[in-house]
Amino acid sequence: MKHLILLYDGMADTPVPALGGKTPMQVAKKPIFDALGRDSEIGMVRTIAKRLKPGSDVANLSVLGYDPARCYTGRSPLEAASIGVPMGENDLTLRCNLVTLSGHEPFESKIMLDYAGGEITTEEAKGVISAIEKAFGSGEYTYYAGVQYRHCLLWHGAKEKLPALGDLTPPHDIIGRAIGEFLPKGEAAAPLLSMMKESYSIVSA
């Protein structure tokens, strides 16, 4: 038996004042969706174990039959695999978002305005990542362009550094907040923080 799985990640959206407090889905004309909802068997299922962080990456693995508690190691390896990044056994991948920060404050006081780089196009983003790779690419670091705002850093031979990096906060979790308390901390993460600060100047130039 064949199955078709449709994952409408984020489609529920949030209420919009201009739409009378309704979500875009509530006001959209969608006869096929309405028919599916009317004629289908509907239920709820937990796709994320309570001990794991809720996110589409974890949920999608679960829906596809994988056990995230055993095989999930973060969003970045999935991103790396999707764009064909060649990885060695001891390499570490890190997801790189192009984001929009507020302008004139000291770096630590800047506000996360947008986690998607102002809806940057893939072609525009390739130019940005190329400039960042030119500035920081070396025998230790390689930057790979992905799609729109989502990209990847390959830190060669750094797998053992992972526990010492601490928590790295996804940009979409801190919209409207100052970035200072969420920046990488500690000696192991110092190169990441340095590249983040310097890249701001490169992208803003």
**Reported pTM:** 0.78
What does the pLDDT read at residue 198? 93
CA distances from 110 to 56, 76, 145 (A): 27, 25, 25
User: Percentage of residues in the chain with pLDDT exceeding 70?
Assistant: 100
In angstroms, the Cα distances linking 91 to 28, 77, 150, 155, 186 are: 46, 10, 19, 6, 20
Please state the separation of Cα 163 from the chain's center in Å: 20
pLDDT in tens, 114-145: 999 999 999 999 999 999 999 999 889 999 99
Task: Give residue-wise pLDDT tens across range 26-79.
Answer: 999 999 988 988 898 888 888 888 888 888 888 888 888 888 888 888 888 888
Q: Where are the domains of the chain?
A: 1-73, 75-204
| 88, two tokens | 């060695």
